[in-house]
Structure 1
Amino acid sequence: MAASPGSLRRAGNEEFRRGQYGAAAELYTRALALLEASGEAAAEERSVLLANRAACRLKDGACRLCVADCSDALELVPFGVKPLLRRAAAYEALESYRLAYVDYKTVLQVDCTVQAAHDGVNRMTKALLEKDGVNWRQKLPPIPTVPVSAQMRWSVPSAGAPGANPPPVTAPKGEPDRTAAGTERARALKEEGNELVKKGNHKKAVEKYSESLQLNQECATYTNRALCYLTLKQYKDAVQDCTEALRLDPKNVKALYRRAQALKELKDYKSSIADIKSLLKTEPKNTAALRLLQELNRA
């Protein structure tokens, strides 16, 4: 009896679990060939097979083929978490960081509990900040708006077979907990961080601020952590935190000043001067900012 698409897919999953990615890809390709004539009726099944084959391509380092398979899968069934995550990983490997960022952010619109997407966004933010400077967001392609109907439809791929799904995550690390208890805990952690700063323990304070931000993304917590990063000479991290603070409050004086300080240390004098000038529009007589501007003009 001839093999069915379903049996070929299951066989492909088994080969994938055994680490035989080439063999698995071949089985998925055979299943796709059988479904080719089915058109729209088999769109979902074809999308899954393409996403599975993309996982094989990714494992084998064939990133461009992975991107092509994921794009085809998403054309058949838009906003699938698995093809979006796999395409993002492939883009990341190809150093197409802007495209990877867009895919990771799209995943979080579909399902905000996907930790791999949170981690991906953080990595891409750092990479793009390094590559494009503080205005990196302006160079991003548009991020698609995910319709409500697509949200929570897909689950996160597990480390096993490409079609397997783990149990749902209810309280993801990195996704803000907006309950009253979460906000109160975030405030307490921020206060612990503040006390550690007073004692000069900036490294431990960073840990407390980081825990607080996982529960509640607050501008002051970002600027406090940025101050610690400045003290620890982690200037790129300080820039990133100030940028996040300014996303929440575009005229925040502390964020502009601390980002300017970090950018000066990174020798990005032009961006540093731009931040100080933005700050002086809000506080024209800010003596610390005026002093820093003098130093920058001499640099």
Structure 2
Amino acid sequence: SAEALRRAGNEEFRRGQYGPAAALYTRALQQLEASGDAAAEERSVLLANRAACHLKDGACTLCVADCTSALELAPFGIKPLLRRAAAYEALERYPLAYVDYKTALQVDCSVQAAHDGVNRMTKALLERDGVNWRQKLPPIPTVPVSAQTRWSVPSARAPGANAPPATAPHGKPDQTAAGIERARTLKEEGNELVKKGNHKKAVEKYSESLKLNQECATYTNRALCYLTLKQYKEAAQDCTEALKLDPKNVKALYRRAQAFKELKDYKSSISDIKSLLKTEPKNTAALRLLQELNRA
């Protein structure tokens, strides 16, 4: 049944198997269509779940498409709004991300991920478009009161009831005190493994920690492991995540510059080192890397 396929998809997602999870959600959608039992609400949930898979896999355009379809079926769903906002943000379509984060806050003003998103987008748009950035925004839809209440009560059908918590990408997946404490323990276990030279195992620990609490230092630590393991794309991505949380983080800028250098993207590498040197003009490692890059 579609329900069984959805549950199986949730299970794969929990295990970090985003491709297989997306395939199961697709089969569930096809089954609903085929049986003519295409309840809008159920289809919307499956599309939002599949969008979460796309987002995890970095397929942002597909994520946007699924979220848009989910929102057409069930307007003002908080999860598709947040996922689409995150995808737009990753695609650097900041005005659209801003509108989705703002809309999500109208639906539920307690969503920390949306508050954080609005703050990041405000900063990015101010830097890019100057003080009049608001004039360039598309209109922000007004959320009817009915939608505000409808989505604030978690229903058994909502993906939140069955989906893993770590689906809001820049949100705080499991921000309970216990979750944060567990994340810290996992990070420290990762640090110990790095000292022993076991970078592969350390990556696993950092990944588990990040599911519970997205912290800048955990991203930069995992990036260091990826650099050692010669997984340069992953290293660069982790540094980018860290810089979203702390735009002037020296370790993130330095490690991303190292990753870009290995990926032969010298222009981006030099740009990161120059940003770093604005904060720490006498950073010897950065100055040395800049010399190497200028010779490259």
TM-score interval (norm. to shorter): 0.5 to 0.7
2:85 touches 2:96 (CA, 8 Å); kept in 1? no
In structure 2, the residue corresponding to 1:274 is in which secondary structure?
helix
Question: What does 1:1-299 correspond to in 2, within 5 Å?
Answer: 23-24=34-35, 48-49=39-40, 81-82=45-46, 84=48, 88=51, 97-98=60-61, 100-101=63-64, 110-111=77-78, 137-139=91-93, 142-143=96-97, 144=100, 145-146=103-104, 147-148=107-108, 149=148, 151-152=151-152, 168-169=161-162, 172-173=165-166, 176-299=173-296
| In structure 2, C-alpha distance between the alignment counterparts of 1:177 and 1:265, rounded to whole Å | 35
Q: Deviations over 1:61-111 (max 9, x none)?
A: xxxxxxxxxxxxxxxxxxx5455556x49x99xx9833624865998x945
Q: CA deviation at 1:234?
A: 0.8
C-alpha separation between the residues in 2 aligned to 1:18 and 1:288?
Answer: 53
- Distance of 1:192 and 1:234 partners within structure 2: 21
Cα distance, 1:177 vs structure 2: 2.1
Cα distance, 1:179 vs structure 2: 2.1
What SS is found at the alignment partner of 2:230?
Answer: coil
Moved over 4 A (4+): 16-23, 80-86, 101-107, 109-112, 152-156, 164-167
TM-score where L is the length of structure 2: 0.58
User: Partner letter of residue 233 of structure 1?
Assistant: K
Instruction: Report the Cα offset of residue 142 of structure 1.
Output: 0.6
Q: Secondary structure at the match of 1:237?
A: helix
Structure whose alpha-carbon radius of gyration is higher? 1
Partners of 1:292 and 1:262 lie apart in 2 by 12
AA aligned opposite 1:97: C
What number of residue pairs does the alignment pair up? 212
The alpha-carbon distance between structure 1 residues 229 and 177, as it changes in their structure 2 partners (threshold 3 A), is: same
Bigger shift: residues 236-245 or 139-148:
139-148
Conserved 8 A contact 2:60-2:90 = no
Say whether the 8 Å CA contact 1:173–1:214 is kept in structure 2: yes
Q: Is the 8 A contact 2:47 2:67 kept in 1?
A: no
1:285 is paired with a residue whose SS is coil
Distance 1:19 1:81 in 2: 14
- The percent identity for this pair of structures is 61
- Residue 151 of structure 1, CA deviation: 3.3
**Alignment root-mean-square deviation, CA:** 4.2
TM (normalized to structure 1)? 0.57
Unaligned runs of 5+ in 1: 1-15, 29-47, 56-79, 126-134, 157-163
- C-alpha separation in 1, matches of 2:60 and 2:164: 28
Deviation at 1:183, TM superposition (A): 1.6
Distance across 2 between alignment mates of 1:136 and 1:170:
22
Contact map agreement 1:104 1:121 (CA 8 A) in 2:
no
Structure 2: gaps spanning 5 or more residues: 1-26, 109-147
Letter in 2 for 1:142: L
Once residues 197 and 62 of structure 2 are traced to their aligned partners in structure 1, the CA distance between those partners, rounded to angstroms, is: 40
Query: Kindly tell me: are residues 173 and 166 of structure 1, through their superposed partners in 2, closer, same or farther at Cα, counting changes over 3 Å?
Result: closer
CA contact (8 A) 1:242 1:256 kept: yes
Q: Shift of the alpha carbon at 1:178?
A: 1.8
CA 1:81–1:263: 2 relative to 1, 3 Å: same
Shift of 1:292: 0.8
> Cα–Cα, structure 1 residues 101 and 228, in superposed 2: closer, same or farther, change >3 Å?
farther
